[in-house]
Amino acid sequence: MPRGKQANGEKQDMKKKTAIVSVLLGVLVIGLVSAGLVPYLSNMVSGIVTVEGPVFYATKNVFDADLGYYSLSINEFDGESGKYVMFTNGLESQWFVSEELGINSFYPANYNFDVEICAENKTVNDTIGQVTLTLKILKENGDFREDICEAYVNNIPTIDSCVEANYNDYQSLCSAEELYLEPTDRFVLITSDGAHAITYYIRLDEDTKIEVTPTE
């Protein structure tokens, strides 16, 4: 082969090898940059995540037939709509108990109540009612660990008879600091009234619930 052609061939081979090396280096650099972005992007995502608390729904599902307790379902209303419970003055109350929470602590939070209530006047004096909403922690042995918080629904007008059209939605709020729990603990909602001779009806559907939101 002539010397000139051989030299030209060697130069072309060198150019090809250089081009391949450049491509490989480029791919490697892109890979390193991409890998370096992963923790950065992860930090960005974790910084804008909004924590949403659970929602507890009061249902007519029986939790304990002997005690007359009903179920407090978590994040999904699993009862039959249109059911109701009733109680009269301080001598009676209604209990709604959740499943085991399965956690050791619960962040500081606001507990936002939405309750559909109707009140029947049984005396000529009690024309305005009040319902107390108490949240407690129930331990596995049946004892209470502590009260979470207590909210009140005030100024409930009474009527002669509670029919479907006379239920109104009432909202109330209470707050609590961080809760320290056992995984077998449960939430309990207790609805009651102080000392009024009034019969209360609470309608149980997706509108009677407790929405939990973290405090800022």
CA distance 109 to 211: 10
Lowest mean pLDDT among 33-37, 74-78, 81-85: 33-37
> What is the number of structural domains in the chain?
2
Same domain, 71 and 164: yes
Predicted confidence at residue 31, as pLDDT, reads 34
Tokens representing residue 110 in the block: 């606001």
Residue 79 or 108, more confident: 108
Stretch (H or E) spanning 198:
strand 198-204
Stretch (H or E) spanning 174:
strand 168-176
Query: Rounded to 5 degrees, what are φ and ψ at 13?
Result: -60, -40
Residue 159 or 6, more confident: 159
Tokens representing residue 115 in the block: 């309750």
Q: Which domain holds residue 34?
A: 1-49
Identify the burial level of 118 via C-beta atoms within 10 angstroms of its C-beta, where 0-12 means exposed, 13-18 middle and 19 or more buried. Answer: buried
Residue 207 and residue 59 in contact, taking contact as beta carbons nearer than 8 Å: no
Same domain, 209 and 104: yes
Same domain, 134 and 209: yes
Residue 33 or 161, more confident: 161
- pLDDT higher than 70, residue 118: yes
Same domain, 38 and 88: no
Q: The CATH number of the domain where 108 resides is what?
A: 2.60.120.260
pTM: 0.74
- pLDDT higher than 80, residue 134: yes
**Residue among 101, 117, 119, 103 at smallest CA distance from 171:** 117
Mean pLDDT score of the chain: 79
CA distance 189 to 193: 13
* Residue-wise pLDDT tens digits, 165-214: 779 999 999 999 999 999 999 999 999 987 677 899 999 989 999 999 99
